[in-house]
Amino acid sequence: MAGSTSALSLSYSSSSSSSRVLFSSKYMKPSFNFEKRFSFTCFSSKKKQLSFMDQILDYIEGGPKLRKWYGAPDLVEKDGNALEEDEAQEEEEERDAVLVTDGDNEIGQMIILSLILKRVRVKALVKDKRAAMEAFGTYVEFSFFLKSMAGDVKDATFLKKVLRGTRTVICPVEGFLNNIESWKGIQHVILLSQLSVYREYSGIQAVLNSNARKLAEQDEDMVKVSGVPYTIIRTGVLKNTPGGQKGFSFEEGSAAKGSLSKEDAAFICVEALDNVPQQGLIFEVVNGTEKVSDWKKWFATLMDSSKE
């Protein structure tokens, strides 16, 4: 449509800040609302629907000015390569970072984006570092591991470097926590677990998911004896459905039978970040009818009941 105007509007609010940004976009309607946490309205001459991830990535990749607005540091060239890590840094950093253990995973990416919007220092493990840098720029400190993942994450030197400066570890998938030998300095571990789902499987599904079940059991066992405060979020089957449209159910046994939107799963992981239990907290969650308007209060109530 000649002469049409294109715009993408993003609103983000929290208890501490409220910001609004307007910039051009080539995409047309739709209007997307993620339980009033993010709101997008797009207009253009092409009718093309974008997923939540596509829209927020378009926003995040808006350019250096927007990156600066969200606190991204300036790129500093090192030996002609802006992406080169400072391998010489060995001194202990302030522990203010949140490590996402799988930045290639869909839920992991949603968690990273939410943390960026909270202006949290983010670290992530990824297989394709260049693709990750292109997607998230300098918002995230990436550690690269080879496709033979076990070979690298079991290396003590590699893990020491990854965990340096980390206060919280968020695990969107199974298979990482069992490799940690030293938990020194870690203040909180958040584990997204589908163990209830795996235990419910039978027949061929049980066989196909036997390794995932083993990893989930190992991770849960490891975090329970780590001595670090932990939150285990046992979900139902994770589905590619829009988040923020349904309520929740936290009933015992619900995870084995129900399902949960991946967007909702990522959101709950981020909400758990600042709600650190004294020792450990385990709960089940699937999509249902219960609405939660105050997650800080909800976590506090759950922690109090778990002490009884």
pLDDT score of 224: 94
The residue written with tokens 């339980």 in the block is: 35
Residues 220, 136 share a domain: yes
Task: Say if CB 166 and CB 123 are below 8 A apart.
Answer: yes
Residues 6+ apart with CB under 8 A from 135: 57, 60, 61, 109
Number of domains within the chain: 2
The pLDDT tens digits for 209-243 are 999 999 999 999 999 999 999 999 999 999 999 99
| 146/263 same-domain check | yes
Q: Are residues 202 and 259 in the same domain?
A: yes
pLDDT band at 94 (very low <50, low <70, confident <90, very high): confident
pLDDT score, position 306:
81
- Quick one: pLDDT at residue 1? 46
In a domain, 46, yes or no: yes
CA 29/CA 46 separation, integer angstroms: 9
240 and 187 in a common domain: yes
pLDDT band at 144 (very low <50, low <70, confident <90, very high): low
Tell whether 84 is covered by a domain: no
Task: Specify the DSSP element, H or E, that contains 280.
Answer: strand 280-288
Task: Name the residue with higher pLDDT: 159 or 76.
Answer: 159
Between 20-29, 145-154, 178-187, 291-300, the lowest mean confidence (pLDDT) is in: 20-29
pLDDT of residue 159: 82
Specify whether 274 is located in the same domain as 141. Answer: yes
| pLDDT at residue 62, rounded to an integer | 54
**Is the pLDDT confidence value at 3 over 80?**
no
DSSP3 helix / strand / coil % (the chain, rounded to 5): 35, 25, 40
- Determine the residue type at 208: L
CATH of the domain at 179: 3.40.50.720
Contact 104, 80 (CB under 8 A): no
pLDDT, tens digit, 9 for 90 and up, residues 249-300: 999 999 999 999 999 999 999 999 999 999 999 999 999 999 999 999 999 9
Cβ-in-10-Å burial (0-12, 13-18, 19+) of 158 comes to middle
**Which structural domain range is residue 236 located in?**
97-307
In a domain, 101, yes or no: yes
Are 124 and 225 within one domain? yes
Is position 92 within any domain? Answer: no
Q: How far apart are CA 222 and CA 253, in angstroms?
A: 22
Please report which confidence band the pLDDT of residue 127 belongs to, taking 50, 70 and 90 as the band edges. confident
Confidence of residue 56 (pLDDT cuts 50, 70, 90): low
Pair 303, 171 in one domain: yes
Look-up: residue for tokens 């969200």?
70
Q: Domain check: are 103 and 36 in the same one?
A: no
- pLDDT for position 142: 75
Chain segment 110-122, per-residue pLDDT in tens: 999 999 988 899 9
Question: What pLDDT, on the 0 to 100 scale, is given for residue 29?
Answer: 34
- Is residue 45 assigned to a domain? yes
79 in any annotated domain: no
pLDDT: which is higher, 98 or 55: 98
Shared domain for 125 and 209, answered yes or no, is yes
Q: In this structure, are 138 and 25 located in the same domain?
A: no
Query: In the block, which residue shows the tokens 């992530």?
Result: 124
Specify if 28 maps to a domain.
yes
64 and 103 belong to one structural domain: no
Tokens of 108: 């992991």
pLDDT interval class at 136 (50, 70, 90): confident
Residues 77, 86: Cα–Cα separation, whole Å: 11
202 within some domain: yes
Confidence of residue 12 (pLDDT cuts 50, 70, 90): very low
Tokens, residue 157: 């030197």
CA-CA distances (angstroms) from residue 184 to 91, 163, 164?
15, 9, 10
* CA proximity to 117, closest of 46, 11, 215: 11
CA distance 226 to 222: 6
For residue 49 the two structure tokens come to 């629907």
* CA–CA dist 34, 263 (Å, integer): 9
Do 169 and 274 belong together in one domain? yes
What six digits make up the tokens of 228?
A: 């670090």
What pTM was computed for the model?
A: 0.72
DSSP, collapsed to helix, strand or coil, labels residue 248 as: strand
Binned at pLDDT 50, 70 and 90, residue 132 comes out as confident
